[in-house]
C-alpha cells in the first residue's frame, strides 16, 4: 500500500467555513465521457477535467485498450488518442478500482461487436446490479454471458434498434444502452431512462460526435442509429455533487461560501432543502452563495433518481441533521449500504436510529471528536464536515476515498478557514 493510501484527515473542530471555492468538471460526467471516446478512432480533447484519482484510473483502463492518454492537470485537460485497432477486454484490476469502467461495455460492443468487461463485485454503498445493462444490450440483439468474472457481450453482425424499458431509471444502464444504440441499425426507444445532468452531458457529447439522439433529460430517449462517429473536443459540466457538498458545508458550519462555476439548476431540490434548514442561498454571477447565520433546522430528505434528492448528498443531509435543531427522517431509496456511514457518526456522538432504509436523527448542539473511518467518497467528505462541528480533534481514516471525488479537499477547507490537515 502506498503512503497516500494510508493518509488520514486530522480535523480540529469549531471553525465556520467562509470564503470562495471553484467547481471543476463532474466526476460522473468526465469518467463516462472518457469511456465514450472508445466509440470512434481519433484525437479527443476533454476539458474542465477534475484533478482526482479516478481520472487517472480511467486513463489507465483506456491505455490498456490501446489508447494514448495525456492528463494535463494544470490546464485541466485530458487528450485521448483512440486507435483504429482497439482491445475489447476491460480487466478486473481496473474495474474493481473504478466502477465507471463498466461504461466501456456499451461503446466496445457497439464498435467492435464484442466486449469483455470484468464484473465489479461488491461496493461499500451496497449491491449495484448490472442486470438492466445486459438486458438492454440483449434487446438490441447482443448475446451476453457471465464467464469467469466477466460479462461477455457479443454482436458479431452488429446491434439492432429496439424498444427497451428499464425497471428503474438507472444512470449506468441508461448510459450503456444509449451509447450502444447510437451505432445500432435503426431506431431505439429507451423508456424510463435516467434524467441526471451527467447523462445529458454524455448524450450531448455523442450528438457532437455525430449521434442522433432526442429526448435527453426526459424519461424517453430516442436514438436513431448512425454508421459512424467522429472525435470532438468537449468540456464537462460542473460537478453538482461537489457543489452540493460545499453548499451543505456552509450550512453545517454556519459559514458563508461562494461557489464559483456552479450550475444551481442541477441542484434545485437540495438547495430548497438548505433554505428550509435556514440558509440563505443566492445566485451570484458565476454560481451560488450559501450563507447560514444560525444553527440549522432539521430537514426530512428522501433520496431518489434525478430530479429527486441525490443519494450522493445523503451523508451531508445526515450530518446536517445530526447537529440541527429538531428531529428528521432521512430515507435512502437508491443504495442500501449507504447507512454504513451512520455507525461512524454514532462514534462522534450523533443520535441516529436506523430502521431498514430509514434513519431517524435527533439533532444535538455539538458532536464529540473521535477517530472514524471513511467507507466511500461521500461518507469520507461527510465525516470531515462532521469533524468540523465536533469539539476537539477528529481523525478520518481513508483519505484516499475522498481523493477519488474531491480535488485538494484539505487545501480547499484550509482556504475557507478550517483547521484540517492530511497526516500519514
Residues in contact with ligand UD1 by CB under 6 A are 28, 127-133, 168, 170-173, 196, 305, 310-312, 334-335
Q: Catalytic: 123?
A: yes
Least distance from ligand UD1 to the Cβ atom of residue 169, Å? 6
Q: What is the DSSP letter of 133?
A: H
Contact 155, 130 (CB under 8 A): no
Catalytic residue among 123, 167, 212, 233: 123
Least distance from ligand UD1 to the Cβ atom of residue 141, Å? 18
Strand, coil or helix: what is 51?
coil
Least distance from ligand UD1 to the Cβ atom of residue 174, Å? 8
Residue in this structure with the C-alpha cell 464529540, named with its chain if needed: 368
User: In sequence order, what are the residues at sequence separation of 6 or more whose Cβ sits closer than 8 angstroms to the Cβ of residue 129?
Assistant: none
Q: At what angle do helices 171-182 and 131-139 cross, to 10 degrees?
A: 20
Least distance from ligand UD1 to the Cβ atom of residue 335, Å? 6
Task: Kindly state the cell numbers that stand for 346.
Answer: 454514532
Separation CA 311–CA 125 (nearest Å): 10
Q: Which is nearer to ligand UD1, 177 or 322 (CB)?
A: 177
Q: Which is nearer to ligand UD1, 105 or 416 (CB)?
A: 105
Nearest to 313 by CA among 386, 400, 381, 409: 381
Least distance from ligand UD1 to the Cβ atom of residue 154, Å? 19
Q: Which is nearer to ligand UD1, 170 or 254 (CB)?
A: 170
Q: What is the DSSP letter of 25?
A: B
Separation CA 131–CA 62 (nearest Å): 24
User: In sequence order, what are the residues at sequence separation of 6 or more whose Cβ sits closer than 8 angstroms to the Cβ of residue 300?
Assistant: 328, 329, 330
Q: Which is nearer to ligand UD1, 316 or 335 (CB)?
A: 335
Q: Which is nearer to ligand UD1, 18 or 340 (CB)?
A: 340
Q: Which CA distances in Å does 156 have to 105, 184, 423?
A: 15, 12, 52
**Which positions are annotated as active-site residues?**
123
Amino acid at each position: 500500500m502506498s503512503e497516500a493510501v494510508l493518509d488520514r484527515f486530522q480535523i480540529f473542530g469549531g471553525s465556520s467555513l467562509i470564503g470562495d471555492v471553484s467547481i471543476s468538471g463532474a466526476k460522473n460526467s468526465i469518467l463516462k465521457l472518457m469511456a465514450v471516446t472508445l466509440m470512434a478512432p481519433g484525437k479527443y480533447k476533454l476539458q474542465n477535467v477534475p484533478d482526482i484519482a479516478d481520472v487517472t484510473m480511467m486513463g489507465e483502463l483506456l491505455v490498456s485498450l490501446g489508447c494514448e492518454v495525456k492528463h494535463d492537470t494544470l490546464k485541466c485537460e485530458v487528450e485521448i488518442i483512440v486507435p483504429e485497432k482497439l482491445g475489447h477486454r476491460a480487466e478486473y484490476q481496473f474495474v474493481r478500482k473504478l466502477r465507471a469502467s463498466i461504461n466501456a461495455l456499451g461503446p466496445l460492443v457497439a464498435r467492435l461487436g464484442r466486449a469483455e468487461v470484468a464484473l465489479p463485485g461488491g461496493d461499500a454503498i451496497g449491491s449495484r446490479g448490472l442486470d438492466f445493462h445486459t438486458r438492454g444490450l440483449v434487446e438490441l440483439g447482443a448475446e451476453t454471458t457471465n464467464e469467469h468474472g466477466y460479462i461477455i457481450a457479443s454482436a458479431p453482425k452488429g446491434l439492432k434498434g429496439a424498444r427497451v424499458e428499464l425497471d428503474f431509471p438507472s444512470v449506468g444502464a441508461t448510459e450503456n444502452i444509449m451509447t450502444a444504440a447510437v451505432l445500432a441499425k435503426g431506431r431505439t426507444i429507451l423508456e424510463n431512462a435516467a434524467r441526471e445532468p451527467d447523462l445529458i452531458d454524455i448524450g450531448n457529447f455523442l450528438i457532437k460526435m455525430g449521434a442522433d439522439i432526442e429526448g435527453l433529460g426526459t424519461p424517453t430517449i430516442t436514438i436513431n442509429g448512425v454508421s459512424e462517429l467522429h472525435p470532438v473536443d468537449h468540456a464537462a459540466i460542473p460537478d453538482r455533487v461537489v457543489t452540493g457538498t460545499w453548499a451543505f458545508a456552509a450550512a453545517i458550519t454556519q459559514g458563508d461560501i461562494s461557489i464559483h462555476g456552479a450550475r444551481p439548476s442541477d441542484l434545485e431540490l437540495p438547495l430548497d432543502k438548505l433554505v428550509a434548514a435556514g440558509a440563505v442561498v443566492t445566485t451570484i454571477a458565476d454560481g451560488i452563495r450559501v450563507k447560514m447565520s444560525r444553527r440549522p433546522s432539521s430537514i426530512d430528505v428522501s433520496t431518489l433518481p434525478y430530479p429527486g434528492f441525490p443519494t450522493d448528498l445523503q451523508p451531508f443531509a445526515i450530518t446536517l441533521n445530526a447537529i440541527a435543531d429538531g428531529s428528521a427522517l432521512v430515507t435512502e431509496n437508491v443504495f442500501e449500504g449507504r447507512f454504513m456511514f451512520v455507525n461512524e457518526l454514532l462514534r462522534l456522538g450523533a443520535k441516529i436510529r436506523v430502521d431498514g432504509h430509514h434513519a431517524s436523527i435527533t439533532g444535538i448542539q455539538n458532536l464529540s471528536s473521535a477517530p472514524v473511518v471513511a467507507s466511500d467518497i461521500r461518507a469520507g467528505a461527510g465525516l470531515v464536515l462532521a469533524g468540523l462541528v465536533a469539539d476537539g480533534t477528529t481523525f478520518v481514516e481513508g483519505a484516499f476515498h475522498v481523493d477519488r471525488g474531491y480535488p485538494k479537499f484539505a487545501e480547499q477547507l484550509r482556504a475557507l478557514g478550517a483547521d484540517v490537515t492530511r497526516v500519514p
